[in-house]
Amino acid sequence: MYGLVRLSIVGLVLAVSTARGRAGGTSIELEVDATDLSRNIVRVQMHMDVHEGMVGDGGELDLYYPVWVPGNHGPSGPVGNVVDIRITDCDGAALLWDRDPTQVERITVYVPDGCDGIDMQMGYIASQPRMLSQSSDTYGRATFGGLNWNTVVWYPGGMSHQEIMVRGTMRVPNDWKVATSLETTDRGSGGFLFERTTLAEYIDSPVVMGRYLQTTQLETAGQVPHWFHTVADEARYAELPGWLAAKFSKMVMESVVVFGDFPRKGYHFLYLFGEDLRFGLEHGESTFMGSERDRLKDAEAIEGLIGGGDGLLVVPHEYVHVWCGKLRAPEGMVRDDFHTAARTDMLWVYEGLTSYYDEVLAVRSGLSTFDEFAQNMLDAIEKYERMEGRLWRSVEDTARHAQHLRDRGKYWLDRRRAQDYYGEGALFWLEADAIIRRGTDGARSLDDFCRLFFDVNAKPVGSQDTYSRGEIVDVLGAVYPGEDWDGLIRSRIERPRESLDMGYLVEKVGYRVEIAGEMTKLQKHRAKDEEGADHQRTLGIALDKEGVVTKLVPDSLADDAGLGYGMRLIGVNGWVYSAERIGEAVEESSERGRVELMVSFADRIEMWQIPYDGGARFPRLVHAAGEMDVLGAIASPRTGN
């Protein structure tokens, strides 16, 4: 019997349709039994007090499951994992309920006259997220887990999520601890009580828990307190190294220089380390992240590089969202419930500006090196220079299509495009930064835009100040009036591109691209980590560790020759295929004038000749003599060493 998630809602339910009117605020008490989370089941019970005006004439009471979870940019609520729903009235008699056939996250409960409360019991199956819900789902492992409140609650329509007050309790195994941004009281024996606050804040305040939960307070030099909480199946995998904690502390200080003083009462980094955990989601006073079990160990093991860099970019990315997303957000994205669709047109700001600054803050705080920073920029430019989908689809269109493009698909990504409001959006902001720095001879930068743009008063957690496209243009113009910002946004973001060339951006940051026949130390390190082989720059293909074609550049030599996704290379230049062999074949092509491939597809084996004689080609960025080193200036710390 499910008994341990009690939800008491004083005036909890209001009918959705406008015909039913609007009830006043309501109150919820929610208990969650997570003692069986290691077996991927959570048990929930909710009590809802019903008052006059909350139900329709026929006793209909409409309840919603959260589907538009903030930060996922699409209908992500995993309602399919909800099981064993049972609803009773104030006398314990079973009530009928019905699901909307066109809106499956809405159910209607039929409440008898005179009933002043109902009880709802349910179960939730953890650890089977949808593509969109990975970062807002609930997870269970043998000795740890993470819970998002949106997976275990239903709420009434017709009132703002700021009007619904919630008080929650949770039970976990006796030897587990919990961490969350909510104020928490340890009741002992695995029981925890969480503060009474709004439904909006509960949805915005995930919980991590585990036997080996470790907490490190960062040194933030007068800023509000920041804590880093880590859980894993063994204590050694949850240990945050001191050198890395110091870099995260510096990241915090570099951030407030750019965006302004931290706008909340405190911040909690919530990090789960385990198999099949790869996500990150921003929240007002915390962030919910997951990585493979060895991530912290691997960070320290990279010889000659700092380690944390690329593998931990999720940390500065979600942290920037404290300002860019949770303090301020595009006006079309802010809703006062969790079932009304949002407009995602301006994700090139919400995610693009954030993606730019996660790299900037990483290099300024020492989480990555300048070589990593420059190589990441070059890799992004190369990626978009071969993405033919840019000729028909704008960055803005990828933002509007966000809920479908997160599922990347297997074939022809360069033609279809993906969530490019992240990466190409970031390149727009890099260009904006370069324009401001060049136009003011280094006196101003995009940092000045951010400081001005995010200088607003914080609203309650779960609500944001909003902005429009026009305000973006106005503030950019206030920082540097010498650019047609409206026109630049229109050409770079809102229209398909007329050309794939992005050499202008390399020039604006004061660099040029040099082609070499050998890899840099960083390129060698990254190639060693890859399980396949990437020859998109030369032949136009990338392959997995089995030699199967996983990427094919449109109009490349491989494309022209007829190679396709799913085909497998089994031989190269007369030798059995391996990543090393095809690398050697590309290097020798300057003498042979071709690369010979033996390809299997379905039941056929064919010989292919790729007419290529360019040898190995490894681009690198080189500072252009006499040019302003914009990229170096961007990467320079603002708070000293």
3-class secondary structure per residue, 142-181:
CCEEEECHHHCCCEECCCCCCCEEEEEEEECCCCCEEEEC
Say if residue 68 is exposed, middle or buried (CB neighbours under 10 Å; 0-12, 13-18, 19+).
buried
220 Cβ contact list (under 8 Å, min separation 6): 226, 249, 252, 253
- Structural domains in the chain (count): 4
What residue has token string 């920073």? 373
* Per-residue model confidence (pLDDT) at position 81: 97
- Find all residues with CB under 8 Å of 222, minimum gap 6, and list them: none
For 279, what's the count of Cα atoms within 13 Å in the CB-facing half-sphere? 26
**pLDDT > 80? residue 21:** no
Residues 6+ apart with CB under 8 A from 641: none
Cα 457 from Cα 327, distance rounded (Å):
8
| Rounded distance between C-alpha atoms, residue 229 and residue 218, angstroms | 11
pLDDT tens digit sequence for 119-136: 899 999 999 999 889 999
Q: Is the pLDDT of residue 6 over 60?
A: no
H-only helix segments in 289-445? 295-301, 314-320, 347-350, 352-364, 370-385, 395-400, 402-405, 413-416, 420-439
Q: What is the pTM of this model?
A: 0.93
Instruction: Name which of 156-170, 272-286, 478-492 the model is least confident about.
Output: 156-170
- Do 374 and 476 belong to one domain? yes
Last residue of a domain, one of 209, 242, 276: 209
In angstroms, the CA 633 to CA 268 distance is: 31
What's the rounded mean pLDDT across residues 234-240? Answer: 95
- Residues 413 and 549 grouped into a single domain: no
| Residue 61 belongs to a domain | yes
Q: Report the pLDDT value the prediction gives residue 23, as an integer from 0 to 100.
A: 53
pLDDT of residue 278: 93
Residue 307 vs residue 533, higher pLDDT: 533
pLDDT at position 24, please?
62
Looking at the structure, do residues 484 and 551 belong to the same domain, yes or no? no
pLDDT in tens, 391-401: 999 999 999 99
Look at residue 328 and tell me if it is in a domain: no
- pLDDT tens sequence across 404-439: 988 878 889 899 999 999 999 999 999 999 999 999
Pair (179, 282) in one structural domain: no
For residues 205 and 218, state if they share a domain: no
- CATH number for the domain spanning 549: value is 2.30.42.10
- Does position 96 have pLDDT exceeding 70, yes or no? yes
Q: Is residue 333 part of a domain?
A: no
pLDDT tens readout for residues 265-317: 999 999 999 999 999 999 999 999 999 998 887 666 554 444 445 678 899 99
| 155, 164 Cβ separation under 8 angstroms | yes
Q: Are residues 305 and 356 in the same domain?
A: no
Name the residue among 320, 334, 198 with its Cα closest to residue 260. Answer: 320
- The CA radius of gyration of the chain, in Å to the nearest whole number, is 27
Structural domain includes residue 330: no
Q: How far is CA 32 from CA 46, 265, 453, in A?
A: 9, 26, 40
In this predicted structure, the answer to whether residue 217 has a pLDDT above a threshold of 60 is yes
Once rounded to an integer, what is the mean pLDDT over residues 241-270?
Answer: 95
pLDDT confidence of residue 307: 45
Answer whether 436's CB lies under 8 Å from 444's CB: yes
Q: Determine the residue type at 108.
A: T
Give, in degrees to the nearest 5, the angle at Cα 357 between 355 and 363. 115
Task: Please report the pLDDT score of residue 283 as a whole number.
Answer: 97
pLDDT at 456 over 60: yes
Pair (130, 190) in one structural domain: yes
Q: What percent of the chain is modeled with pLDDT above 70?
A: 94
Angstrom distance (rounded) from CA 383 to CA 156: 45
Would you state the pLDDT for residue 536? Answer: 93
Q: Find the mean pLDDT for residues 82-90.
A: 94
Q: How confident is the model at residue 54 (pLDDT cuts 50, 70, 90)?
A: confident
Kindly report the backbone phi and psi dihedral angles of residue 526, in degrees, each rounded to the nearest multiple of 5, phi listed first: -70, -40
Please provide the size of the chain in residues.
641
Is residue 254 located within the same domain as residue 197? no
Q: Which of 209, 230, 262 is the last residue of a domain?
A: 209
- Picking from 301, 447, 306, the residue whose alpha carbon sits closest to that of residue 366 is 306
Same domain, 16 and 157: yes
pLDDT for the residue 309? 55
**Residues 243 and 202 occupy one common structural domain:** no
Beta strands 97-99 and 8-10, pairing class: unpaired
Token representation of residue 536: 């998109």
Using CA atoms, how far apart are residues 415 and 413, in angstroms rounded to an integer? 5
- 340 located within any domain: no
> What's residue 301's pLDDT?
54
Q: How far apart are CA 611 and CA 380, in angstroms?
A: 27
Task: Give me the pLDDT at residue 9, please.
Answer: 32
The answer to whether 33 and 43 are in contact (CB under 8 A) is: yes
Residue type, 467: Y
* Res. 93: pLDDT tops 60: yes
Instruction: Evaluate whether 435 touches 487 at the Cβ level (below 8 Å).
Output: no
DSSP H helix total and E strand total for the chain: 19, 33
Q: Read off the pLDDT of each residue in 583-604 and give the average, rounded to a whole number.
A: 93
Q: Helix 446-453 crosses helix 242-259 at what angle (to 10 degrees)?
A: 80
Question: How buried is 615 (Cβ within 10 angstroms: 0-12 exposed, 13-18 middle, 19+ buried)?
Answer: middle
Question: What CATH number is associated with residue 307?
Answer: 1.10.390.10
pLDDT higher than 70, residue 7: no
The amino acid at residue 244 is L
> In terms of DSSP bridges, do strands 82-88 and 226-232 run parallel, antiparallel, or are they unpaired?
unpaired
97-119 pLDDT, tens per residue? Answer: 999 999 999 999 998 988 888 88
**pLDDT value at position 521?**
85
Indicate whether 332 belongs to any domain. no
pLDDT in tens, 504-517: 999 999 999 999 98
Q: Nearest CA to 106 among 168, 64, 52, 54?
A: 64
Could you list the residue range(s) of the whole structural domain that residue 474 is in? 346-458+466-511+626-641
CATH code for position 172: 2.60.40.3650
Position 327 in a domain = no
SS3 262: coil
Element (H, E) at 511: strand 511-516
Scanning 216-343, the segments in alpha helix (DSSP H) are 242-259, 295-301, 314-320
If you search the block for the tokens 């997220």, which residue do you land on? 129
Inside any domain, residue 176: yes
Mean pLDDT within 464-492: 98
State whether residue 119 is helix, strand or coil.
strand
**In DSSP terms, which residues pair with 324 in a beta bridge?**
328
Three-state secondary-structure class, residue 557: helix
502 & 526 share domain: no
Largest CA distance in the chain: 90
- Is 108 in a helix, a strand, or coil? strand
Check residue 56 and give its pLDDT: 81
Q: Flag whether pLDDT at 13 surpasses 70.
A: no
| pLDDT score of 294 | 87
Q: Examine the domain organization and report whether 446 and 592 are in the same domain.
A: no
